[in-house]
Amino acid sequence: MKTIDEVLIRMDEIVTECKATNSRIGYFAILYRQVTRRIKQGILALEFEDNPRMERLDVLFAGRFIEAYETWKTGSKPTQSWLDAFEASKSIKHLVLQHLFLGINAHINLDLGISAAETMEGEPIKGIQNDFNKINAVLAELVDGVKSNISTVSPVFGLLIPLAKGRDEMLLNFSIQLARDGAWKYAGEYYAASDKPLILADRDQNISKLAKKLINPGKFLSFLVKIVGFAEWKSVAKTMDQLDVVAKKVI
């Protein structure tokens, strides 16, 4: 893929595939498709410092998710952090928000830094920082909007927050800003690394550990998650449709 339009065509295909197969990967795909649409609008409106460069970044960034998805679908192994998200999608016991955060965890914490570094190959990486922050602002706006409207697919999710108050739980405290800051630091490390496969593998293992905390948030919160899960919509396709409605309203 070389253009954002090609990315959107493939994202549409993935969303359709997920609906047809009742794959919970579709939850993340719905949100990420909307992020891509918003970035395309921004490029057309010349919102970024370097709009052609932003398209290159977006194509590389989206390509990492698409490649991971296609690798997994063929029975091969993608990066561990994506494998955690994809394998978790087979289970009915995780909340919609858990599936969303697992995808965001792999995509921002691992993929974004790599994509930024590859976009700036041969140029100072500092030059892309402002546009890097803008793409994260779009993601943050969407995630915050979905969290605020999560009751449309998870009617009693709000019960988790006061009951788990004061606990260091990644599921409730997942921060796009912290992920962004970590991704930018990693972008610089990956950009400067002489052994990129080694530093990628090390980062992947660390992000996989975060994924496992999202999947297994501890006994207390896991008990609450189970209760909340009973009230969530069971239809994957209907949940995807509702997430699409929410995403379009937010950005």
DSSP H/E element including 184: helix 176-192
Read off the pLDDT of residues 5-44 as tens digits, 9 standing for 90 and up: 999 999 999 999 999 999 999 999 999 999 999 999 999 9
Would 230 be classed as within a structural domain? yes
Of 143, 131, 126, 145, nearest in space to 61 by CA: 131
| pLDDT at position 168 | 46
Would 86 be classed as within a structural domain? yes
Domain total in the chain: 1
How would you write 65-134 as a 3-class SS string?
A: HHHHHHHHHCCCCCCHHHHHHHHHCCCCCCCHHHHHHHHHHHHHHHHHHHHHHHHCCCCCHHHHHHHHHH
Read off the pLDDT of residues 170-182 as tens digits, 9 standing for 90 and up: 565 677 778 889 9
| 169: pLDDT strictly greater than 60 | no
Lowest mean pLDDT among 94-108, 161-175, 185-199, 213-227: 161-175
Would 88 be classed as within a structural domain? yes
CB burial readout 18-35, b (16+ within 10 A) else e: bbeeebbbbbbbbbbbbb
Confidence of residue 152 (pLDDT cuts 50, 70, 90): confident
- For the chain, the average pLDDT equals 89
Would 251 be classed as within a structural domain? no
Read off the pLDDT of residues 232-248 as tens digits, 9 standing for 90 and up: 767 999 999 999 998 89
The residue-averaged pLDDT of 190-197 equals 97
| pLDDT at position 47 | 94
- Structural domain boundaries enclosing 28: 4-244
Would 250 be classed as within a structural domain? no
Would 221 be classed as within a structural domain? yes
Share above pLDDT 90 across residues of the chain, in percent, rounded to a whole number: 66
Share above pLDDT 70 across residues of the chain, in percent, rounded to a whole number: 90
Would 188 be classed as within a structural domain? yes
